[in-house]
Amino acid sequence: MQQKNVEELYEWIDEAATTIEYQENATYLEAVADAMDILFHRTPFEDMSDLLKQQLEKHLKEVSIEKYEKEEIRKATQLAILKGMKGATQQQHLITPDSVAMFMGYLTQRLFPGNEALALFDPACGTANLLTAVMNQLDREVKSYGSDVDETLMKLALANANLQKNEIEFFHQDSLRPFLMEPVDFILSDLPVGYYPDDIQAERFTLKAEEGHSYSHHLFIEQGLNYVKDGGFLMFIVPNFLFESDQSSQLNTYLREKAHIFGMLQLPESFFKEEKHGKSILILQKKGKQTNAPKEALLAKLPSFKNHHAMADIIGQIDQWFTKNHPS
């Protein structure tokens, strides 16, 4: 992976998006999705003005996507998306940070140490940054599914996957509604946190609130368990307070019945503006006939990812934990 290539491709996307943004009166983020789609299909959209078509055709002559590796494409895309999200006010427009996505890729490799083909599903895939970062680290056949309710993010995710040549089947829907899908080996997701407004849909879930709105992050965990195979794994980014909220005893009882808690790793505080917004990586295994709970759960507070010394140390401890509790 070459940083120079990441920057070069980012600049191409940024220039195309800026041109589209001004001429089409779109938001920068929507324009990034269009620029990526145009780059993939190598032609401007039919309904664009002649002037814009000409500008984009000229710009297309300056780029050859074949030259770039998957990770260079993912990182260039991520830079453009981050620029677009800076100005956006919507709270849900949050991309999973690169270093966290890479770390989750490492954990995924430890959870699935063999080379068998895997089916993955991210039910809150957003831009597919997390999903494709993990896919790119798995050196084997991978089939993925992604779902998100946000239209712009879905467009970005689709173009992102196409450009990286990653096979992902997308569902643009509320992920707390049913899916027509076979259970997968692995569910991974950076979960939306907060209340789920649709009380009628929530009724289908064991983890619905006894009173008022349910927590969407609780319902997503249950939904994940509905779509993973017995013995399959789930990895979620969740709030640190997951097991300390007013509805957590319900969650505890439910998880004890359905899953083994493999671990909970608290992300570095430096990622979050306020302590109350801190998050952790929760790892679960869905119970199956052949599964056993690990002797001890993997619990740790992660150091700053920039502190290479401390990171190497914690990775050593995590590796040891896996050797003892989940040998390959």
**List of residues contacting ligand SAM (CB under 6 A):** 92, 94-96, 124-127, 129-130, 147-150, 153, 174-176, 190, 192, 216
Write the CB contacts of 117 (distance below 8 Å, at least 6 apart in sequence).
Answer: 140, 141, 142, 143
Task: Indicate the residue among 34 and 148 with the shorter CB distance to ligand SAM.
Answer: 148
With the CA atoms of 144, 148, 152 and 157 taken in that order, what torsion angle do they form, in degrees rounded to the nearest 10?
A: -10
Strand 118-122 to 228-239 pairing: unpaired
Q: Which is nearer to ligand SAM, 60 or 128 (CB)?
A: 128
**Residue among 138, 122, 115, 261 at smallest CA distance from 186:** 122
When the beta carbons of 55 and 189 are compared against ligand SAM, the nearer one is: 189
For 188, the 3-state DSSP assignment is: strand
Minimum distance, C-beta of residue 159 to ligand SAM, in the bound complex (Å): 13
- Order the strands of the 184-190 sheet from edge to edge: 168-172, 142-148, 118-122, 184-190, 228-239, 279-286, 259-266, 298-301
CA distance 85 to 109: 30
- Nearest distance, CB of residue 81 and ligand SAM, angstroms: 8
Q: CB of 201: closest distance to ligand SAM in angstroms?
A: 9
- What residue has token string 């992976």? 1
- Shorter beta-carbon distance to ligand SAM: residue 20 or 133: 133
Minimum CB separation from ligand SAM for residue 275, in Å?
18
What residues form DSSP beta bridges with 171?
A: 147
For residues 125 and 225, which CB has a smaller minimum distance to ligand SAM in the complex? 125
Q: Whose Cβ is closer to ligand SAM: residue 150's or residue 185's?
A: 150
